[in-house]
Structure 1
Amino acid sequence: MSSGRPVLSVLGELIIDLLPDPVAGADLDGAAARYVARPGGNALNVAVAAGRLGVPVRLLARLGTGPMAAGLRRHVERSGVDPAGLVVAGEPVSLAVVGLGPDGSPDYGFHVLGAADWQWTDDELAAVLPAGTAVLHVGSISSWTPPGCEAIARLVERVAASGRTLVSVDPNIRPMLTGGPAGTALGNTPADVRARLDRLLSRADIVKVSAEDLAWLEPEALDDLDAAALRWAARGAALVLLTDGGSPLRVARPGRPLLHRKPPQVDVVDTVGAGDSLAAGLFAGLLGAGVTTRAQLEELPDDRLLPIVDDAALVAALNCTRAGAAPPTREELAAARR
């Protein structure tokens, strides 16, 4: 990270996604006949998508042990992501078995107990966060799973207090890990997860939240997503993006009218990594526009923000045209704009 350009730092987990191979079909019992292993996880997907868009980006992640670890590192490096934020860890890599619905939406089965992703310490984070960080993005399972979530929260609080870095939060809820037997084994209860997220959201400048997240966080909010978006913006973030699959994207800013943006229509293979790609597209646009502080984000007029949001939605749409999290390059995005 010596270019002198503002850096996007993405903090979170590395997960191997086992995706059903559509070519192999199903076995006699109706289960997928074959699975394909692909790099995944919210943080990895965001960082890779940003790297492919030409953004200076560092991934802060604990790289666990096992045969998949080397492939994860190569995936990071090939995508233009700075690997200096990878902490070599003794715990195993996380694994997610993915099922796909008729519309391409994913369902997850997680194998993550004792994994490397949840073990962050203050010293580890201090050692890998680059000084030139303009945007710090956190979220998903690592941000609300102990013990590492406490170190992440303290880092977010320090960064937010400095006033020099935009903080972005994506709850990215995985209900089976927020409670029940799996959640309990990880140290999560629904009340704990909500409290940990509230701590992060109270310091966030940018929030990306999905209707699926709201279905768990605030089920009643689904009755009026417009009101929910405005309410979330009133909590303190300068910008809230509320996604709802292929339905219009809601853009909420404190004290401003709610805006809707229709995402591009594409032939969907699956939606794995779509929200992560959208977030990366947003960060690429903001950094490209020179927006690196809270004040600059608040002053950004809608007529400059909306083209950035539309580009981010296009990045997400292009990701959905391919299997797994496979975001476009900067050149592919430019071609799609034309």
Structure 2
Amino acid sequence: MANGNPVLTVLGELVVDMLPVPGADAGPEGTAPHYVARPGGNALNVAVAAGRLDAPVHLLARLGTGPLGPNLRRHAALSGVDVSGFVTADEPVSVAVIGLGSDGSPDYGFLVQGAADWQWTDDELARVLPDATAILHVGSISSWTAPGGDAIARLVERLHAEGAALISVDPNIRPMLAEGPVGAALGNGRDVVRARLDRLVARADVVKVSAEDLDWLGVSGDLDRTAEEWAGRGPAVLLLTDGGAPLRIARPGRPVVHREIPRVDVVDTVGAGDSLAAGFLTGLLESGVTTRAALESLSDDRLLALADDAALVAALNCTRVGADPPTRAELDAARAAR
């Protein structure tokens, strides 16, 4: 069990998101679009969103080389995130170049060969994991890319076996890095990534997964049935997102519940899933739900209230450019206005 005041610990990658500037001149030849560098990455986004909601949150990350690295640390710290778990790394920072569709959905290109994020070792993780960790969130690229993904899986297995913390997993598949030439260069492929995710999901207490993730994983058909099946694989709670469609919430042996998501004017959806995960985990921590038994005994009404708040956090994030989740005051104001 956690020692001291319980905290949310987020473990994963730091990514510099290169986002296009809307309406900016594309250059005389139309070949030089303007981009702005913004902090990103699943783990950083989740930690920042939780920090802005006033959660006690630690971010464990390997901070790579290059001029943009210090900005990632500062972004987290300014949002109330404890960055004492950052490891100084010799490898480069990951970069994502993002295009936006007409509906605000992102299209990613990555510059990540040899990046710092998936080079974790067992010794590094043992050194930086806070003793007060009550919830550990892992996911995305660092969780299914070797060699660091294997060290993360061993940590998850140990905490699960000890009952030392709730485990939260978000696959957050990035197809370019999970398969194809770039994925192969990282040692990834469909079968490899599926096996690594199966290892994590089997030991997870909370899983947040998107319909896009499931499609890449080869899961097709009725999403309600899929949610029920995934809830039977280990987690006590499954949150299944599907763009603007209702959020699906599944618990083992119970009917799947649909919750409408708030309607907002969407600027883009970058970081929406990360914000939802952060909102939900923050709610669990605030409610004192830090054990598997407490999570399983959580009433349906309370669970749905937490899920609704998480969906509102994600919706507010979508009203701004990039991953820019709301503060506690902004969430409270939006909740009061509903």
Aligned residue identity for 1:99: G
1:247-258 alignment to 2 at 5 Å? Answer: 247-258=245-256
Residue 77 of structure 2 aligns with which residue?
77
Residue 204 of structure 2 aligns with which residue?
204
Distance in 2 separating the partners of 1:6 and 1:66: 34
Residue 17 of structure 2 aligns with which residue?
17
Q: Does 1:93 align with 2:93?
A: yes
Aligned residue identity for 2:199: R
Residue 322 of structure 1 is aligned with which of 320, 323, 335? 320
TM-score, with structure 1 as normaliser: 0.97
Residue 310 of structure 1 is aligned with which of 301, 308, 311? 308
Residue 225 of structure 1 aligns with which residue?
223
Deviations 1:213-248 (A, max 9, x none): 01101242xx21111111100111100000001100
Distance in 1 separating the partners of 2:164 and 2:304: 24
Distance in 2 separating the partners of 1:204 and 1:32: 44
Give aligned-pair identity as a percent: 72
- State the 1:107 CA deviation: 0.5
1:67-216 alignment to 2 at 5 Å? Answer: 67-216=67-216
Q: 1:171 to 1:135 in 2, by over 3 A?
A: same
Asked if structure 2 preserves the Cα contact closer than 8 Å seen for 1:21 and 1:32, the reply is no
- State the 1:76 CA deviation: 1.0
Residue 289 of structure 1 aligns with which residue?
287
Deviations 1:220-279 (A, max 9, x none): 2xx211111111001111000000011000000001111000000000000000000000
TM-score, with structure 2 as normaliser: 0.97
Residue 35 of structure 1 aligns with which residue?
35
Q: 1:329 to 1:91 in 2, by over 3 A?
A: same
- State the 1:30 CA deviation: 5.5
Unaligned 5+ segments in structure 2 are: none
Number of positions where the alignment pairs a residue of Structure 1 with one of Structure 2:
335
Aligned residue identity for 2:192: D
- State the 1:146 CA deviation: 0.7
Distance in 2 separating the partners of 1:296 and 1:332: 29
Asked if structure 2 preserves the Cα contact closer than 8 Å seen for 1:24 and 1:32, the reply is no
Asked if structure 2 preserves the Cα contact closer than 8 Å seen for 1:20 and 1:32, the reply is no
SS at match of 2:84: helix
Asked if structure 1 preserves the Cα contact closer than 8 Å seen for 2:219 and 2:226, the reply is no
Distance in 2 separating the partners of 1:318 and 1:269: 10
Structure 1's consecutive aligned runs of 4 or more residues displaced over 2 angstroms after TM superposition are 25-33
Distance in 2 separating the partners of 1:184 and 1:33: 29
Residue 272 of structure 1 is aligned with which of 270, 275, 295? 270
Residue 300 of structure 1 aligns with which residue?
298
Distance in 1 separating the partners of 2:89 and 2:219: 37
Asked if structure 2 preserves the Cα contact closer than 8 Å seen for 1:64 and 1:92, the reply is yes
Q: 1:163 to 1:248 in 2, by over 3 A?
A: same
Asked if structure 2 preserves the Cα contact closer than 8 Å seen for 1:204 and 1:236, the reply is yes
Unaligned 5+ segments in structure 1 are: none
Q: 1:184 to 1:57 in 2, by over 3 A?
A: same
Distance in 1 separating the partners of 2:63 and 2:116: 7
